[in-house]
Amino acid sequence: MKISKTEENYLKVIFSILEKGKPSASTNAISKKMQTSAASVTDMVKRLAKKKLAIHESHKGVKLTKRGGQIATMLLRKHRLWEVFLVDKLDFLWDEVHEMAEELEHIQSKEMIDRLDSFLGNPKFDPHGDPIPDAEGNFATRQQTPLNEFKVGEKGTVVGVRESSTPFLQYLDQLDLGLGSKVEILEKFEYDNSAKILLNKSKEIVITGKVCLNLFLQK
């Protein structure tokens, strides 16, 4: 059975909602992420259910079947491997690759993606620190904590970002605060959740609460 690019995009969005711990993805949540009307979502969800990729109970949101989840996972694998390719081999910056990977992730061949994986040296994380599923769909796990949960005096290394929008990533580049940066918390300001940090043992900077919330560090 053939799965269209559009269907794949819905599976990805549903997967990303379920991944956040929700028991099911609501029509509205999906329509917001997909930038389509709620009516279109209902349409598509029924089609996915008919293809045994999703489970849909009227007015109760949608879940993915095992197969639906596998497809979504392979899309993440492809997306993230292509991002590594674009950054490592074609020298793009981490904030430039998302759109291209959105297209590349729909290329079919499993053999190709497995070879790409090994060509890239079987990376475990993409340029934003997100884990890359292996050929069987297993994600690497890593002990990581959002910066806002760190206490004064604690140290860590930036290993991921919660959000990978271009403006946020460019802002991090400006701060010189990319993946691999060493951070020590010097002060925390409760009234706006900002913090003063020592960056790479050399530079003291103040970062906002939003940045603290969106950076993942390994202690």
Interface with DNA, residue 58, by CB under 7 A = yes
**Among residues 15, 21, 31, which one has the least CA distance to residue 63?**
15
Residue 67 binding result from a second copy, DNA, none, given CB thresholds of 5 to 8 Å by partner type:
none
Write each residue from 117 to 146 as x if it is in contact with a second copy (CB under 8 A), else as -, in one continuous string: --x---------------------------
- Helices 38-50 and 27-34: crossing angle, nearest 10°? 110
Neighbour-count burial of 28, counting CB atoms closer than 10 A to its CB (0-12 exposed, 13-18 middle, 19+ buried): exposed
Confirm if 109 and 77 have CB atoms less than 8 A apart. no
Interface with DNA, residue 185, by CB under 7 A = no
Interface with DNA, residue 36, by CB under 7 A = yes
* Segment interacting with a second copy (CB under 8 A) among 57-65, 66-74, 92-100, 193-201: 92-100
Nearer to DNA, 60 or 219 (CB): 60
Interface with a second copy, residue 74, by CB under 8 A = no
Among 64, 76, 116, 217, binds a second copy (CB under 8 A): 116
Among 107, 140, 152, 206, binds a second copy (CB under 8 A): 107
- The site that binds a second copy (CB under 8 A) totals a number of residues, namely 17
- For the chain, how many helices (H) and strands (E)? 8, 8
Confirm if 106 and 76 have CB atoms less than 8 A apart. no
How far, in Å, CA of 77 to CA of 82, rounded?
9
**Among residues 199, 123, 190, 127, which one has the least CA distance to residue 156?**
199
Using CB under 7 A, which residues numbered 1 to 30 contact DNA? Answer: 4, 6-7, 26-29
Radius of gyration of the chain (CA): 19
* Binding site residues, a second copy, CB under 8 A: 86, 89-92, 99-100, 103-104, 106-109, 112, 115-116, 119
Give the residues lining the site for DNA (CB under 7 A): 4, 6-7, 26-29, 35-47, 56, 58-61
